[in-house]
Structure 1
């Protein structure tokens, strides 16, 4: 984290949108431009388990933010981050152009295949090809494909209970429907 964070005003809150994370933070980091205030630290995430981020990453509520180098290995000391396969484009609100991609990961304790899925979620933001190529025309040296910005949080476990109850309701309702079916003799 840069030295500029010591001069933050009282009441400073960090609740960026996806667009703000990509355009105002990640793009500037990748273009080697200064970001004021410099509040998001560089962190090699992968040696750390998610509960070890406190004090290392920028914390706001139950969310942690940091820059990391893009890597294929997402293994930590006690587990690994597994991609969910879900990706969302990050669009600008003004021109509706794609500037980034948000990928989702879930932390698993232990080693595959016996690892236990946890409630820890990581959203990894990377620049899209469009935003990187449109800025590459500048003479500055850039790191567009090397950096990502991550948002890590622990999902509330209460959400899962409601989903399971809903699934059970569907099963019981379908069993009720079975009673109404008459089979030919």
Structure 2
């Protein structure tokens, strides 16, 4: 399954608004392990083939955000720009209280149009999630899950999706 139209196949009242922990543990980990995800609604997208405003219909649209999987080793360049990291990675924890363990990393990226040497930053923001390899503590290179949305601070493209 995949695509915004697949959300129409879900039961009435279904609301997809996962936490960082749920994205990593229940979706990304299963996808990287080639296990079925239930519901299987988050599609795989080749990031370097699409600018962010072209993802409508290719990614799961949930409110003001789009969700999709992509391979972590893919280039972050697109036909009209590139994604670049804007802050330090955050850890994603699983479990409550004093028993929390780090299960992944969350990276925040912003989309810029043009070439890296003279690009213009846009209002598109992506959160990229990575699994941590439990044996080595390093990043897994199998897959990443992404959530992408347009910030309401700026408007550079007429088809922006507003975040709440």
Range class of TM-score, shorter chain: 0.7 to 0.9
Provide the TM-score with structure 2 as the length reference. Answer: 0.82
Deviating above 2 A after TM superposition, structure 1's stretches of 4 or more consecutive aligned residues are 1-7
Provide the TM-score with structure 1 as the length reference. Answer: 0.73
Shift in CA distance, 2/63, structure 1 to aligned 2, threshold 3 Å: closer
In structure 2, C-alpha distance between the alignment counterparts of 1:71 and 1:9, rounded to whole Å: 35
- Count of matched residue positions in the alignment of Structure 1 and Structure 2: 147
Q: Alpha-carbon deviation of 1:72?
A: 5.2
Structure holding more helix per residue: 1
Q: Alpha-carbon deviation of 1:112?
A: 2.2
In structure 2, C-alpha distance between the alignment counterparts of 1:79 and 1:7, rounded to whole Å: 34
CA contact 1:5–1:38 (8 Å) conserved in 2: no
Partner of 1:145: 141
In structure 2, C-alpha distance between the alignment counterparts of 1:74 and 1:55, rounded to whole Å: 20
Query: Structure 2, unaligned stretches of length 5 or more?
Result: 155-164
In structure 1, C-alpha distance between the alignment counterparts of 2:74 and 2:60, rounded to whole Å: 23
Query: After the TM superposition, which of the residue ranges 50-59 and 2-11 deviates more from structure 2?
Result: 2-11
Structure holding more strand per residue: 2
Greater C-alpha Rg: 1
Residue of structure 2 aligned with 1:154, choices 128, 150, 155: 150
CA contact 2:48–2:74 (8 Å) conserved in 1: no
Shift in CA distance, 76/69, structure 1 to aligned 2, threshold 3 Å: same
CA contact 2:2–2:60 (8 Å) conserved in 1: no
In structure 2, C-alpha distance between the alignment counterparts of 1:128 and 1:77, rounded to whole Å: 30
1:35-80 CA-partner distances (Å, limit 9, x unpaired): 1110000111121000111100000111000000112521001100
Q: Tell me, what secondary structure is at the counterpart of 1:46?
A: helix
* 2:20 is aligned with 1:24: no
* 2:68 is aligned with 1:66: yes
Q: Alpha-carbon deviation of 1:2?
A: 5.4
In structure 2, C-alpha distance between the alignment counterparts of 1:15 and 1:91, rounded to whole Å: 17
Partner of 2:104: 100
Query: Structure 1, unaligned stretches of length 5 or more?
Result: 135-143, 159-185
